[in-house]
């Protein structure tokens, strides 16, 4: 049929019986997941001084943590896309969230610098290698070809709104708990529970 927006999409990916409400729930979950997955790896963006204090880091060591995350993320993009084509996105997203959260629990103990480096490297694998390709694929599958712009716009809007809400809430909690190292550990634990 000419003009059919579902042409080229495998039938298994089209959910004709999916209600409008269930589709919006899926998009909300994708947006929230796309935010939550990066809260832990990007702790230093919001909690720079508390992170350095808790781990006794220099500015250079803090930079190396993020460089480690960035490098492993970059290297994980290519196999991550291939893996997303082989494994169901919902399984990859769930696995990425769980493994990132478990690493967060370890990180909340403020491990030694070498262990923190390994955790950041693994976050690059879980947040990017496992999650990013699956998130993009699930978003593509959410809408027909004629609505891809809408799907990705909604995903990014959901990520932006949920990030602002989470960061505001957790910064308020951090301040309320005293803004010290034990309070920072509690924030990391709460972030990990979100996963």
Alpha-carbon distances, residue 5 vs 12, 23, 105, 180 (angstroms): 15, 17, 44, 54
pLDDT at 6: 47
Alpha-carbon distances, residue 175 vs 50, 64, 161, 168, 183 (angstroms): 12, 27, 21, 11, 8
pLDDT at 67: 97
65 near 170, Cβ under 8 Å? no
Q: How many CB atoms lie within 10 A of CB 121?
A: 17
pLDDT at 11: 43
Query: What's the mean pLDDT in 40-62?
Result: 95
Distance CA 123, CA 103 (A): 8
Q: Convert the pLDDT of each residue in 116-129 to its tens digit.
A: 999 999 999 999 99
Distance CA 155, CA 147 (A): 12
* φ, ψ (nearest 5 deg) of residue 62: -60, -40
- Which domains can be identified in the chain, with CATH numbers? 20-194 (1.20.1250.20)
Reply yes or no on whether the pLDDT at 5 is more than 70.
no
Q: Convert the pLDDT of each residue in 108-165 to its tens digit.
A: 999 999 999 999 999 999 999 999 999 999 999 988 888 889 999 999 999 999 999 9
Residue 93's closest CA among 42, 41, 66, 128?
128
Distance CA 139, CA 31 (A): 9
């Amino acid at each position: 049929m000419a003009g059919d927006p579902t042409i080229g999409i495998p039938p298994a990916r089209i959910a004709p019986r999916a209600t409008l409400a269930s589709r919006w729930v899926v998009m909300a979950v994708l947006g929230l997941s796309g935010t939550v997955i990066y809260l832990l790896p990007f702790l230093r963006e919001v909690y720079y001084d508390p992170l350095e204090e808790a781990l006794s880091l220099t500015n250079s060591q803090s930079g190396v943590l993020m460089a480690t995350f960035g490098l492993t993320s970059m290297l994980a993009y290519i196999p991550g896309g291939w893996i997303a084509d082989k494994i169901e996105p919902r399984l990859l997203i769930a696995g990425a969230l769980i493994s990132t959260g478990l690493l967060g629990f370890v990180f909340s103990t403020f491990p030694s610098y070498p262990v923190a480096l390994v955790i950041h490297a693994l976050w690059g694998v879980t947040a990017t290698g496992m999650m990013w390709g699956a998130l993009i694929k699930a978003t593509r599958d959410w809408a027909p070809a004629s609505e891809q712009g809408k799907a990705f716009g909604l995903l990014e809007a959901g990520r932006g709104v949920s990030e602002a809400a989470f960061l505001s809430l957790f910064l308020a909690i951090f301040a309320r708990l005293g803004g010290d190292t034990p309070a920072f550990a509690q924030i990391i634990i709460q972030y990990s529970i979100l996963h």
